[in-house]
Amino acid sequence: MPVAQNSSPTWQGPRSKTREIVGPWNDGLMRIVGVRAPGAKISVDAVLAHGEDPRMLLWRHGFVMSQPLSTHMDDQGIVLTTMVRPRTKDSRPPRVKSRGVDPSLTIASNENPVPHQRIAAYAIVRSRRGVLGTQCSDRTAIPGLWQLPGGGLEHGETPSEGVIREIMEESAQRVRIARLIDVQSDHWIGRSPAGVLEDFQALRIIYTAVCVEPTNPRVLDVGGTTMSASWVPVRRWRSLPWTSGARSLLDRHLDRIRLQPTLVAPEMPTVVPSSYQKSQQLPNVR
């Protein structure tokens, strides 16, 4: 994905239209393409500006997102294709979070936040041993909480390639991507791990995936943002303290992921995370 250094970046979209991009050129760039049905002609094609939610972008163009279909990469960024339907007088606008600020943030009078849009990919991974969870390390703002495996895309990487790599680095599991299920956006002011004040937008592409040959998870990227990983029994996943975003996704999608019969038996022993063993008596966060 070659890029050029340019203080006024543009996206050369289809039909030779030039679109202005807000934010640094080396940030992740995402284009949203809406179609009425798979294979149908394009109804909307627009670049996501820094801080904008994909669903609100479609709303502004007169459409409502109904089902994400696919992602791919062109020579300038990630393209998300989604099914859409026309907005009507009965349509409700999407719920979009307002830009937040880290609670303990202190900003000097001469500091201005640097715009940073980060594209990441995550997956709800199932196997005969349960659902795969990763525990955030103290390098994150939420140490100890559990998250779906995944992370930021590397240069030239597609979302599906990125999530497969991240799952391997965080848990040493080989998975097969099943389908694209969601895209999320969060936007806040905070400091990066390097201490830089950022106007940060996290764009998360969410998949479902299946692990055919689950093993005892182990973190390969030692010293990173993942402290541990584990297969969590499906009937007990709510016993863990998940991030709000992960909990919401699991609530909506986990029961819909079906394993092939050959993946269900025989049952393998599951290593239960110590953080939800009865001796810990963690509250059941809902």
| pLDDT computed for residue 265 by the predictor | 37
Reading the block at residue 176, the tokens are 């097969």
pTM across the whole model = 0.80
Q: How many residues does the chain have?
A: 286
| pLDDT computed for residue 260 by the predictor | 66
Reading the block at residue 236, the tokens are 């007990």
Residue segments in the chain with a per-residue pLDDT below the cut of 70: 1-28, 260-286
Rounded CA separation 52/269 (Å):
44
**Beta strands 130-136; 114-127: pairing state:** antiparallel
Peptide bond before 266: cis, by omega within 30 degrees of 0? yes
**Beta strands 114-127; 150-152: pairing state:** antiparallel
Look at domain 114-257 and name its CATH class: alpha beta
Helices (H) and strands (E) in the chain, counts: 4, 14
Least Cα distance to 26 among 165, 119, 141 occurs for 119
* Domain boundaries, given as residue ranges, for the chain: 16-86, 114-257
| pLDDT computed for residue 40 by the predictor | 96
Which residues, 6 or more positions from 85, have their beta carbon under 8 angstroms from its beta carbon?
36, 63, 64, 66
